Amino acid sequence: MAIIALVSAKGSPGVTTTALACALSWHRRLVLVEADPAGGSILAGYLGGALDGPRGIGELAVGELRDGNLETAFWSQLVDLDAPKRERLLLPGVVDPAQAGSVTPLWQRFADFLTGLERGEPGYDVLVDCGRLQVAGPPWPILRAASVVLLVSRAQLPDLSGTRAMVRAIERDFTEHRVSPGTPRLLLVGDGHGRGEISKVLRLPVIARLPHDPRTAEVLGLGGTVRAGRPLMRAAGALEVPIGSLLERRRARLAWPVSQGVPDAL
């Protein structure tokens, strides 16, 4: 699958909760990366601060700036969410605000490295929690490198207003950097306006709608037993299918021989 990035416009529509639910329910081997410049929350929340010693993208950035050893240091910074299988791995986010300054200059370096993980032995898909777009130093290089960008938004008007501005900002940036079309999709959270109405107004397809499931969201945010049968977990698991189909179509389009023309954007 390569890189699947999740991002929101503002507030807290559940980007980290969604990314973690997908990481725990998908069947593919994957790495979940917390790349929110504002900081990560899974270590202190879902994992309950149970790990000893510093771990995560902040430590990785400091080491890369000092020694340039990203390829070898990366695997030592991961947390096995389903130990000892090493099929669902987590790269925790920044926990010390002072580390944010070390991470921001390395977004392109991280994007290049993460892109290659699916070609490794074994290969890994990469889910990236990019947090809010409207913060200092957002991970634009990761968004540009992503095979799919999921714009996570509640389906209520105040959230959709901010999401509309985010859609336009991403479109401008992708055009400027010549990113292949067809990668952004809307991922709605909770009740509200209809999918068709939202897609028409924002001029972007809706890939799915996740249900309002506060009980599961609390477990994913604060720790506890995740139940696969809960509505959010079922919906997050089902999201693997349309994303996989989207990626297959995108790969087919990018591989289309130039002499035969280029199919319409997905």
**Tens digits of residue pLDDT in 237-249:** 999 999 999 888 8
pLDDT digits (tens, 9 = 90+) for 54-70: 889 999 999 999 999 99
The predicted pLDDT at position 2 comes to 84
Q: Is 141 or 257 the better-scoring residue by pLDDT? A: 141
Tell me whether residue 53 is exposed, middle or buried, using C-beta atoms within 10 angstroms of its C-beta: 0 to 12, 13 to 18, 19 or more. Answer: exposed
| Threshold 0.75, pTM exceeds | yes
With a cut of 80, say whether residue 265 has pLDDT above it: no
Question: For the chain, which residues make up each domain, given as ranges?
Answer: 3-253
Q: How many CB atoms lie within 10 A of CB 248?
A: 11
The predicted pLDDT at position 257 comes to 60
The predicted pLDDT at position 95 comes to 84
Q: What distances in angstroms separate CA 264 from CA 113, 143, 182, 256, one per listed residue?
A: 30, 22, 10, 11
pLDDT digits (tens, 9 = 90+) for 64-90: 999 999 999 999 999 999 989 999 999
CA quadruple 67, 69, 70, 74: dihedral positive or negative?
negative
The predicted pLDDT at position 180 comes to 79
Tokens of 250: 């995108």
Beta strand pairing call for 206-210 and 30-34: unpaired
The CATH fold assigned to 3-253 is: Rossmann fold (3.40.50)
The predicted pLDDT at position 1 comes to 56
Rounded-to-integer distance, Cα 161 and Cα 134, Å = 14
